Amino acid sequence: MPVRFTAPLSEGFTSDWDRWEPLFLLIWKVAYGFELAPFQRWLLRAILETYPPGHKRAGQLRYRQVVISVARQNGKSDIAAILSIWGLLRRVTGNTIGIASNVDQANIVYLRCRNAVMRNPVLEARFTRTTATRGLETKDGSTYAVKAAKSDALQGFPVGTGIVDELHIVLAALWADMVNGTGARPNTLVVGISTAGDDSSLLLIDLYAKGEAAVQGDPKLSRFGFFLWESPDARVPDDDAELLELLIPANPMLASELVDAEDFVADVRATVGGDVAVIRYRLNRFVTGTAASFLETYAMWERCARDGQPYPAEQPVFFLDVAPTGALASIHAATLDGADIMHVELVASFVDPSTGDLVDALEALRVHSPRSFGVGSDQKAIVAELKRRGMPYEVVSGAEWATAANTAYQRIKGRTLIHESNALMAQQIPRAMRKSSGDTYRLSRVVSGVPIDAVLSMVGAVYVAEIARSGASVGVL
């Protein structure tokens, strides 16, 4: 059961789901080999509540707008896909529209629908079109299409069933256009599904406010459904048992014992973006702002300082980071020892270096027989020179920096990283800031407001060392 939700009209309420449930249980069993979880069936029945016999709207859907907020990895795509197919099958010439922050995200639900249809011959026979990207169409004229996440794509478009994914990063105008597209016709429904947002998630903040009022019984919002799973506390404790207790209310799959609790906690500990991302995406709690310190406290870095341990003899990797202006640069070494401890050391820093200076410095480090040299994808001239000189190299692209930052963060937090203390890192680590980038976080020079080349060279070195262990390749130019 959600932490908070709009109460049904009666304990034994009626629902359109009752007549469709046997069909969808069969569809999902045939298509995907599993049965819907009890909480999913409960939620679908609640969303599709109908007015009871004797009411002036008897048999009609109660809700016209529904907002569902739940942590990631809790079957949201299945709920959205089932509602989309339901929208196709329930009425003649009905339009089902799916949108998200981008078409690729909306296509996740769309393809879930299409695969369910195509894997069931009886169901597929009801369709005249089941394309990979251009929509589904039933023989009686109902259609399902994915629309771009921009307002003019929906204006004037009739909507029977609307599915909006990722409300936390969807513009308010898109939701308004979807609702307006229902045209106040009976039995139309717009459903938004999301995880929590931050203070830039203006649409979701507004919908939460409406949802909370609906839960309190505001008569003006009697046709607004709100179903919220969230943790009672927005923090990430070090103790796994305590963390598990905070995760359960936000994660119905976990509360229903449908996933392994130990594995679930381990996955949460490895969430890209650190504690801020865990709070937002796994505890399903709003976070303040889109930027946060790379490390919550400087003490996290201090407690990883080398305390007499020898630097390992294994081959290192070296990573060079160069500030966009070219005025500052740093090189870090990283070595992973046999006990899975990452050793890092700042080996060089530069002021106003030339490309030649930097490549010469890297070449001088070949005496240590490194496994590889790492650089960012923006350093094309340096990569070209490394290639010309026959030096092994790895390129970390923009998308990989989020993983790199999280990899270093998790090692620092878990004390599986040891560093050589130095003044430059002591100056930069407390000032290094991470900023949200879509659904992940990466270190930001702009938000930090001060040079963080040494921190970025450390993060890059840790990432390349991890990749080198696995034998995988990083990016290429």
In a shared domain, residues 415 and 341: yes
Q: How far apart are the first and last CA of the chain?
A: 49
Place of tokens 């709690």: 285
Going by the DSSP 8-state scheme, the letter that residue 287 receives in this structure is: B
Is 17 part of a structural domain of the chain? yes
Alpha-carbon distance 100 to 109, whole Å?
Answer: 10
How does DSSP assign 200-212, residue by residue?
T-HHHHHHHHHHH
Alpha helices for 127-259 (secondary structure H): 172-181, 202-215, 240-247, 252-255
Listed as ranges, residues in the chain with pLDDT below 70 are: 101-104, 132-134, 148-156, 289-290, 437-440, 470-477
Whether 284 and 433 share a structural domain: no
The 10 Å Cβ neighbour count of residue 216 is: 10
* CATH classification of the domain holding 413: 3.30.420.240
Full strand arrangement of the beta sheet holding 143-146: 4-5, 224-228, 65-69, 189-194, 161-165, 95-99, 143-146, 136-138, 127-130
169 and 75, same structural domain? yes
Q: Are residues 347 and 217 both part of a single domain? A: no
Identify whether the C-beta of residue 430 lies closer than 8 Å to the C-beta of residue 289. no
Instruction: Mark whether 193 and 263 lie in a shared domain.
Output: no
Q: Is 228 exposed, middle or buried (0-12, 13-18, 19+ CB in 10 A)?
A: buried
Q: b vs e for 277-295, b when ≥16 Cβ sit within 10 Å of the residue's Cβ? A: bbbbbbbbbbbeebbbbbb
For 473, the token pair is 């390749």
Q: Could you give the CA distance from residue 411 to residue 414 in angstroms, rounded to a whole number?
A: 5
For the record, the structure tokens of 391 come out as 């030096």
The DSSP code sequence of 333-387 is: EEEE-TTS-EEEEEEEEEES--HHHHHHHHHHGGGG--SEEEEETT-HHHHHHHH
Instruction: Report pLDDT digits (tens) over 67-80.
Output: 999 999 999 999 99
Q: Is 40 part of a structural domain of the chain? A: yes
| Pair 293, 441: CB distance under 8 Å | no
Task: Judge if 302 and 407 occupy the same domain.
Answer: yes
Residues 293, 276: contact at Cβ < 8 Å?
Answer: no
Please give the pLDDT value at position 475.
41
Facing residues of 194 across strands?
Answer: 69
Domain residues for the domain of 277 are 240-289
Cβ-count burial 111-136 (b if 16+ within 10 Å, e if not)? ebbbebbeebeebeeebeebeeeebb
Are 88 and 188 members of one domain?
yes
Angle, CA 302 vertex, CA 300 and CA 307 arms, to 5° = 125
Listed residue (122, 113, 6) closest to 64, CA to CA? 6
Residue 438 amino acid letter:
G
Query: For the domain that residue 223 is a member of, what is the CATH number?
Result: 3.40.50.300
Instruction: Give yes or no: residues 217 and 276 share one domain.
Output: no
Strands 136-138 and 127-130 turn out to be: antiparallel
Q: What is the H or E stretch that residue 226 is in?
A: strand 224-228
Which amino acid belongs to residue 317? V
133 part of a folded domain: yes
Backbone φ and ψ of 291, nearest 5°: -125, 150
Are both 68 and 180 inside the same structural domain? yes
| Residue 475 within any structural domain of the chain | no
Q: How many residues does the chain have?
A: 477
- How confident is the model at residue 476, as a pLDDT? 36
Domain count, the chain: 3
Q: In what helix (H) or strand (E) does residue 225 lie, and over which residues does it extend?
A: strand 224-228
338 and 412 in one domain?
Answer: yes
> Taking Cα atoms as reference points, which of 134, 179, 135 lies closest to residue 155?
179
One DSSP character per residue, 60-84 reads SBS-SEEEEE--SSSSHHHHHHHHH
- The answer to whether position 362 is within a domain reads yes
Please indicate, yes or no, if residue 234 is contained in any of the structural domains: no
Residue 411 in domain: yes
Are residue 420 and residue 453 in the same domain, yes or no? yes
> What whole-number distance in Å separates Cα of residue 108 and Cα of residue 198?
23
Confirm whether 477 is domain-assigned: no
Of 193, 208, 228, the domain-final residue? 228
Strand, helix or coil at 227? strand
- Distance, CA of 319 to CA of 198 (rounded, Å): 33
pTM of the shown model:
0.70
Give residue 48's pLDDT: 98
Q: Are residues 256 and 208 in the same domain?
A: no
